[in-house]
């Protein structure tokens, strides 16, 4: 059923922050399942109102998503509207800090700075807070900044869609994809 206008009342504690899950899931767009013509088939569909996403992520054979453990209190996920008259759209953003400066993390950044990502974030309260950021045609791109001084050793990761589109971050209710194994950090 297409979108029908409804009034939006204030809910109790509606604006209170909800703790975010520490594991930020990243799915390489190249790893999404495709049909014989190369069209992506492994991305959950949106309903006709444009926000709720259902169905599973389907990855290519042997492909897995990965996760980066973030400092939960630093996770920011937001949509920004922009554009001129008759050309408004949304830029999707996910930003977080990752503590430490391990070799494996720096290798990930060096080898994935131009990778196209779909990002899944969660809330600790329940499954209604799972969000999908990016689309196969407008994926998230990484911007990176590291810090190593007397205050902290950490990195700030900012993922943003390069183009505005009609899509806000999706509200996802499906299963989370399998993630790659963790390499032991010695």
The answer to whether residues 150 and 139 touch, using CB atoms and an 8 Å cutoff, is: no
Q: Is residue 108 included in any domain, yes or no?
A: yes
Q: Does residue 183 fall inside a structural domain?
A: no
| Three-state secondary structure readout of 74-122 | HCEEEEEEECCCCCCEEEEEEEEEEECCCHHHHHHHHHHCCCCEEEEEC
In a domain, residue 153? The reply is yes
Q: Is residue 11 part of a domain?
A: no
Q: What is the pLDDT of residue 8?
A: 80
- pTM of the predicted model as reported, rounded to 2 decimal places: 0.91
pLDDT on residue 184: 52
Is 10 inside a domain boundary? Answer: no
Question: In total, how many domains does the chain have?
Answer: 1
pLDDT at 138: 97
Quote the tokens at residue 125.
């309260």
Asked if the structure places residue 51 within a domain, the reply is: yes
pLDDT at 159: 97
Structural domain contains residue 101: yes
pLDDT means over runs of 10, the chain (186 residues): 80 81 97 96 95 94 95 96 94 97 93 96 84 97 95 96 96 92 63
> Domain residues for 151?
23-172
Phi, psi of 77 (to 5 degrees): -130, 125
């Amino acid at each position: 059923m297409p979108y029908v206008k409804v009034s939006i009342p204030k809910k109790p504690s509606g604006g209170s922050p909800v703790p975010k899950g520490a594991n930020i899931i990243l799915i390489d767009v190249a790893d999404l399942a495709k049909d014989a013509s190369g069209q992506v088939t492994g991305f959950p569909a949106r309903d006709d109102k444009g926000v709720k996403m259902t169905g599973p992520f389907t990855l290519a054979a042997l492909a897995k998503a990965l996760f980066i453990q973030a400092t939960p209190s630093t996770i920011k996920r937001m949509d920004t509207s922009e554009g001129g008259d008759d050309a408004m759209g949304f830029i999707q953003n996910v930003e977080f800090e990752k503590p430490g400066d391990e070799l494996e993390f720096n290798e990930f950044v060096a080898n994935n700075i131009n990778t196209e990502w779909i990002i899944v974030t969660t809330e600790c309260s329940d499954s209604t807070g799972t969000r999908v950021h990016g689309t196969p045609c407008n994926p998230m791109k990484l911007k990176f900044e590291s810090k190593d001084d007397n205050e902290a050793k950490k990195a700030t990761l900012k993922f943003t869609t390069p183009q505005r589109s009609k899509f806000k971050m999706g509200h996802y209710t499906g299963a989370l994809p399998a993630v790659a194994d963790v390499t032991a950090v010695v």
